[in-house]
């Protein structure tokens, strides 16, 4: 990026603009031309040196939350350096800017607050949302929006939920190279029912209980209309809405605008990729498996729906495919005779006697795979794991609930509880586990493998819709990146270190589907990968002069 010195009124403004600031890395020529002389100490550091300085400081901080605060401050003053730090140390930094640390950061949001990022729109803003969005200084290409009602597995965090859209958009840039200048995090403050927050003097949101019903729907509708009016091609990603709204909103908007819900669809794709890897180890196909989910919410039914879609793509009838997926919710096994089941659970309510608890469901149904997405910690007990090991030579065990305190079991518990035979993936990061002379590597079923590439593909081709077929293509692409060496050490997903390459190929797969289905607004390029790469942001500093 070359910018004219005339475009900058004074060097101080440049230093205060996180999208352009380079701090002590401004060159001699830039310092003279851009009015920076004297505003910086004389020695010029390279970006690599700045990165080492930051990491040295950050690594000495006593805990993850302090590190989160330091990273946020860096993000606020120098985005390129922040993204160099994240991209070059993705394994170390991702758990600090996203799960599990971001959960704690949301709970403490008001207490660690330094400066706002993104936009807050509240229920008091009815009738003026388009005007508010015009306060944003740039054109937004992708919005991540939450109403804070179901933050990770931590429940209602109200306006403090802003940590999630901010973190998620950082991952869009870090993992796929989406330009941070087009990213807009938004929190819809609909109130909160979290009594602790309502009583907290430092809480950043409205002091009122959540609005529901038509007042809620009208605000969301005005927001969607306004966002499309102010930023016509914007992609809107719904994030961490409670499931009574998440499914409704997805159904309402998915065929009208370019939108998706990562909790439902992104989770589904990463879990399916893990399942496809497990099948390679077992030498089976999807129709040989029986999946039992603990939880019947966004993640569970999203994953089940995509498993069904994958089976349909293999020529299996929908009804037959659904028979391979079973759900256990807080009231026990989801069966046909249960009344008042939410719409998303009904396809999986099979003709079967009721079963009250998860262990009994395992013993009764004899699943080949258990997938934990109920956000209740410790529910894959030693008895559950033992039962799975007795039923299966290689039980598939995915403990996907977040944050770590909500995980159904740890990696070590999964391996020890199944004599090292579990094909395991987790929602929170766990360290490799030494087991009987081998080191087993549990990889995180992190949505960050999927949504950044989906977003990049959608941006590159100007997608008008984001479909389940695109998520299926993303899952298959991700699974293709798992090597025999990964499988040999028990890893069902690729390492995060080559995530940008994976994301670029997911973007290609998504764009291919868009072009094939007439859902792309650009003309088809000769080389899809080149098109995708042309949209990738490089966090190395540009020369301004």
Binding site for ligand NAD (CB under 6 A): 150, 152-153, 243, 263, 267, 270, 294-300, 328-330, 373-376, 400-402, 406, 427, 445-447
Taking the C-alpha atoms of residue 95 and residue 81, their distance in angstroms, rounded to an integer, is 18
- Contact status, residue 105 vs residue 70, Cβ threshold 8 Å: no
Q: Given the structure tokens 């993936």, which residue do they identify?
A: 425
Write out the H or E segment, with its range, that includes residue 312. helix 298-313
Residue number of the CB closest to ligand NAD reads: 297
Choice between 23 and 153, CB closer to ligand NAD: 153
Backbone angles phi, psi at 351, to 5 degrees: -75, 100
> What is the nearest approach in angstroms of ligand NAD to the Cβ of residue 243?
4
Choice between 343 and 534, CB closer to ligand NAD: 343
Taking the C-alpha atoms of residue 408 and residue 428, their distance in angstroms, rounded to an integer, is 10
Q: Where are the beta strands (DSSP E) in 330-426?
A: 332-333, 369-372, 396-399, 423-426
Choice between 5 and 495, CB closer to ligand NAD: 495
> What is the nearest approach in angstroms of ligand NAD to the Cβ of residue 285?
23
> What is the nearest approach in angstroms of ligand NAD to the Cβ of residue 191?
19
- DSSP H stretches of helix in 149-256: 163-171, 195-198, 213-230, 243-253
Any idea what DSSP says for residue 182? G
> What is the nearest approach in angstroms of ligand NAD to the Cβ of residue 265?
10
Any idea what DSSP says for residue 266? I
Q: What share of the chain is helix, strand, coil (3-state, %, to 5)?
A: 50, 10, 40
Please work out, in degrees rounded to the nearest 5, the angle formed at the alpha carbon of residue 486 by the alpha carbons of 484 and 490: 110
Count the Cβ atoms, other than its own, within 10 Å of residue 207: 12
Q: Which residues are catalytic?
A: 98, 168
> What is the nearest approach in angstroms of ligand NAD to the Cβ of residue 427?
3
CA neighbor of 74 nearest in space, from 66, 84, 82: 82
Burial grade of 269 (CB within 10 A; 0-12, 13-18, 19 or more): buried
Taking the C-alpha atoms of residue 142 and residue 218, their distance in angstroms, rounded to an integer, is 22
Q: How far apart are the first and last CA of the chain?
A: 9
| 397 DSSP β-pair partners | 370, 424
> What is the nearest approach in angstroms of ligand NAD to the Cβ of residue 74?
26
Q: Where are the beta strands (DSSP E) in 377-515?
A: 396-399, 423-426, 433-435, 438-440, 443-444
Taking the C-alpha atoms of residue 327 and residue 347, their distance in angstroms, rounded to an integer, is 10
Choice between 40 and 373, CB closer to ligand NAD: 373
Choice between 297 and 417, CB closer to ligand NAD: 297
Under DSSP, is residue 329 helix (H, G, I), strand (E, B) or coil?
strand
Any idea what DSSP says for residue 520? B
Choice between 253 and 348, CB closer to ligand NAD: 348
Quick one: tokens of 53?
Answer: 């300085």
- Contact status, residue 236 vs residue 143, Cβ threshold 8 Å: yes
Q: How far is CA 188 from CA 72, 215, 216, 461, in A?
A: 21, 13, 10, 29
| 33 DSSP β-pair partners | none
> What is the nearest approach in angstroms of ligand NAD to the Cβ of residue 543?
39
> What is the nearest approach in angstroms of ligand NAD to the Cβ of residue 155?
9
> What is the nearest approach in angstroms of ligand NAD to the Cβ of residue 115?
27
Write out the H or E segment, with its range, that includes residue 72. helix 64-77
Taking the C-alpha atoms of residue 325 and residue 401, their distance in angstroms, rounded to an integer, is 18
> What is the nearest approach in angstroms of ligand NAD to the Cβ of residue 40?
42
The 10 Å CB-count burial string (b at 16+, else e) for 132-147 is bbeeeeeebbbbbbbb
Choice between 224 and 272, CB closer to ligand NAD: 272
């Amino acid at each position: 990026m070359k910018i004219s010195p005339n475009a900058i009124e004074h060097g101080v403004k440049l230093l205060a603009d996180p999208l352009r600031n380079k701090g002590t890395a401004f060159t001699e020529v830039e310092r003279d031309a851009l009015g920076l002389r004297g505003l910086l100490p004389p020695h010029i550091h390279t970006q690599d040196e700045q990165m080492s300085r930051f990491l040295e400081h950050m690594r000495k901080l006593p805990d993850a939350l302090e590190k989160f605060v330091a990273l946020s401050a860096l993000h606020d003053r120098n985005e390129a350096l922040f993204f160099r730090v994240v991209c070059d140390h993705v394994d170390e930094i991702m758990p600090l800017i996203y799960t599990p640390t971001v959960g704690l950061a949301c709970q403490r949001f008001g207490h660690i607050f330094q400066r706002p990022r993104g936009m807050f729109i509240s229920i008091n803003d009815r009738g003026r949302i388009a005007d508010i969005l015009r306060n944003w200084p740039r054109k937004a290409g992708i919005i991540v929006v939450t109403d804070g009602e179901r933050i990770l597995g931590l429940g209602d965090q109200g306006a403090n939920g802003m940590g999630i859209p901010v973190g998620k958009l950082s991952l869009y840039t870090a993992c796929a190279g989406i330009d941070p200048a087009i990213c807009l995090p938004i929190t819809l403050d609909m109130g909160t029912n979290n009594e602790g927050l309502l009583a907290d003097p430092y809480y950043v949101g409205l002091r009122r209980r959540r609005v529901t019903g038509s007042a809620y729907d009208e605000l969301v509708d005005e927001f969607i209309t306004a966002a499309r009016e102010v930023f016509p091609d914007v992609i809107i990603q719904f994030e961490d809405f409670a499931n009574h709204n998440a499914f409704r909103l997805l159904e309402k908007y998915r065929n009208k605008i370019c939108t998706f819900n990562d909790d439902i669809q992104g989770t589904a794709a990463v879990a399916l990729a893990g399942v496809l890897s497990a099948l390679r180890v077992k030498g089976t196909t999807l129709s040989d498996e029986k999946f039992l989910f603990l939880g019947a919410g966004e993640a569970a039914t999203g994953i089940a729906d995509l498993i069904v879609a994958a089976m349909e793509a293999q020529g299996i009838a929908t009804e037959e495919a659904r028979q391979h997926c079973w759900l256990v919710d807080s009231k026990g096994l989801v069966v046909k005779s249960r009344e008042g089941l939410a719409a998303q659970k009904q396809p999986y309510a099979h003709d079967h006697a009721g079963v009250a608890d998860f262990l009994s469901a395992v013993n009764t149904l004899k699943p080949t795979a258990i997938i934990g997405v109920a956000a209740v910690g410790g529910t894959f007990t030693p008895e559950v794991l033992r039962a799975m090991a007795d039923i299966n030579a290689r039980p598939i065990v995915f403990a996907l609930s977040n944050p770590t305190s909500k995980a159904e079991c740890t990696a070590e518990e999964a391996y020890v509880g199944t004599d090292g035979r579990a094909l395991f993936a987790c929602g929170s990061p766990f360290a490799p586990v030494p087991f009987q002379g081998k080191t087993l590597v549990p990889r995180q079923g992190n949505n960050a493998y999927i949504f950044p590439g989906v977003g990049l593909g959608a941006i590159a081709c100007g997608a008008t819709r984001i479909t389940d077929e695109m998520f299926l293509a993303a899952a298959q692409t991700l699974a293709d990146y798992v090597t025999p060496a990964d499988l040999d050490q028990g890893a069902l997903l690729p390492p995060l270190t080559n995530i940008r390459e994976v994301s670029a190929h997911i973007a290609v797969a998504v764009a291919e589907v868009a072009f094939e289905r007439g859902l792309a607004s650009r003309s088809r390029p000769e080389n899809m990968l080149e098109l995708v790469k042309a949209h990738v942001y490089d966090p190395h500093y540009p020369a301004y002069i």
